[in-house]
């Protein structure tokens, strides 16, 4: 087996410090979210930097995000886009996204982000029906039982050659334990197997953050 780094507290702290560059607005968003009881829903600094690299390398201009929380990932993606780039960001919570709007405004990217409040599956269906897209990049980081539906709907909205990233695909290692039948673990375990066998995409399940799956639509 190849060498893998264990995510010790020291390594996690090191990554937070030097794993990816942040603007002041990004850093404030991340640090002000960390004390929250639900802070585990926020991606890490190195994940944000990885998303930015994917956006820049792919030349993406139209991006889709499912799950906004306090806005850190949408902020990272918006900062990586060219001036005419747009992010369509979907979330069910006005409470969370009201916080996000402040960070987006501070960073000067609020006009790049089209926030839509409501159940993401419904929003995605409406986008498909309206013929929106094609999108160049998608990031999914929302309720885990809904991932399969989000994956399928996002694939319909993406152009061939575009990139999709899905967060929490290792779920703290729970997906590797078949005896763990927690609803989120079971849903992601099934989706991991599905994506592995899905000939519509090229894929890699990585150990970035809590496990991030990267797909390229064929």
pLDDT (tens digit, 9 = 90+) per residue, 117-175?
999 999 999 999 999 989 999 999 999 999 999 999 999 999 999 999 999 999 999 99
The number of angstroms, rounded, from the C-alpha of 165 to the middle of its chain's C-alpha atoms is 6
| Tens digits of residue pLDDT in 52-77 | 999 999 999 999 999 999 999 999 99
Q: Which of 145, 154, 167 is nearest to 212 (CA)?
A: 167
pLDDT above 70 (res 1) = no
Is the sign of the CA dihedral 170, 167, 96, 149 positive or negative?
Answer: negative
Q: What per-residue confidence (pLDDT) applies to 8? A: 85
Q: What per-residue confidence (pLDDT) applies to 65? A: 98
**Would you tell me how many other CB atoms lie within 10 Å of the CB of residue 200?**
12
The distance in angstroms from the start CA to the end CA of the chain is 29
Domain boundaries, the chain: 9-217
Q: What is the CATH number of domain 9-217?
A: 3.40.50.150
pTM value? 0.95
């Amino acid at each position: 087996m190849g060498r893998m780094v264990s995510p010790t507290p020291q390594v996690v702290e090191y990554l937070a410090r030097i794993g990816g560059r942040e603007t002041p607005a990004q850093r404030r968003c991340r640090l002000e979210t960390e004390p929250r009881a639900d802070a585990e829903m926020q991606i890490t600094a190195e994940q944000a930097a990885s998303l930015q690299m994917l956006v820049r390398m792919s030349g993406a201009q139209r991006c889709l995000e499912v799950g906004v929380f306090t806005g850190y990932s949408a902020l990272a993606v918006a900062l990586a886009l060219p001036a005419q780039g747009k992010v369509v960001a979907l979330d069910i919570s006005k409470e969370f996204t009201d916080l996000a709007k402040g960070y987006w405004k501070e960073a000067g990217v609020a006009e790049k982000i089209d926030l839509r409040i409501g159940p993401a599956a419904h929003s995605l269906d409406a986008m498909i029906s309206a013929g929106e897209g094609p999108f160049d990049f998608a990031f999914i980081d929302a309720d885990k039982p809904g991932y399969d539906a989000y994956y399928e709907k996002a694939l319909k909205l993406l152009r061939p050659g575009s990139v999709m990233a899905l967060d929490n695909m290792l779920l703290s290692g729970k997906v590797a334990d078949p005896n763990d039948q927690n609803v989120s673990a079971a849903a992601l375990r099934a989706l991991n197997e599905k994506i592995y066998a899905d000939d519509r995409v090229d894929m890699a399940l990585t150990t970035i953050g809590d496990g991030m799956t990267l797909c390229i639509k064929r």
